[in-house]
Chains A and B, each alone.
Chain A
Amino acid sequence: MAQTTGGMSASNMYVGYSTNGSEWTDCSGSANSVEVSGGERQSGEAFTFDGNTPIVKYGKLGYLTVTVRGVYTPDADELYAVAKTAYEAGSAFYIRWSPGGGDAGDLGYTTSQGTVINPPYPGGTADTPDPILVEVVLHVGSITQSTIGTAPW
Chain B
Amino acid sequence: MTAITPYATFTSELAALTVTGVTRKLDAPPASLATADLPAMWPGLPRGEEPPMTFQSGGGWPALTCDLVIALEPVGQNTQSANYAATVAMLDNLSTALRGANIGRASLRWSITANVQVDVSGTPYWAVIATIEGR
Contact = CB atoms under 8 A, between A and B. Distances in A.
Contact of B53 (A32, A126, A129): A32
A129 B54 contact: no
Interface string A126-153: 1101110000000000000000000000
B1 A32 contact: no
Interface stretch (A10-18, A53-61, A111-119): A10-18
Instruction: Specify which of A10, A11, A126 lies most central, judged by the most chain B CB atoms within 10 Å of its CB.
Output: A11
- Tell me the dominant secondary structure on chain B's binding face: loop
Contact of B1 (A31, A71, A127, A130): A71
B35 interface: no
A108 interface: no
B61 A10 contact: no
A79 B1 CA distance: 14
A11 B54 CA distance: 8
A126 B55 contact: no
A29 B57 contact: yes
Interface in B26-85: 52-58, 61, 63
Chain A interface residue number, banded: 10 to 19
B9 to A, nearest CB: 16
A70 interface: yes
A71 B53 CA distance: 8
A28 B107 contact: no
Contacts of A13: 55
B106 interface: yes
A131 B55 CA distance: 15
Contact of A11 (B55, B63, B134): B55
The residue in B53, B54, B56, B133 that gathers the most chain A C-beta atoms within 10 A of its C-beta is B54
Given A14-B55, A28-B54, A28-B56, A131 B107 contact: no
B24 interface: no
Interface of A: 10-15, 28-32, 70-71, 73, 126-127, 129-131
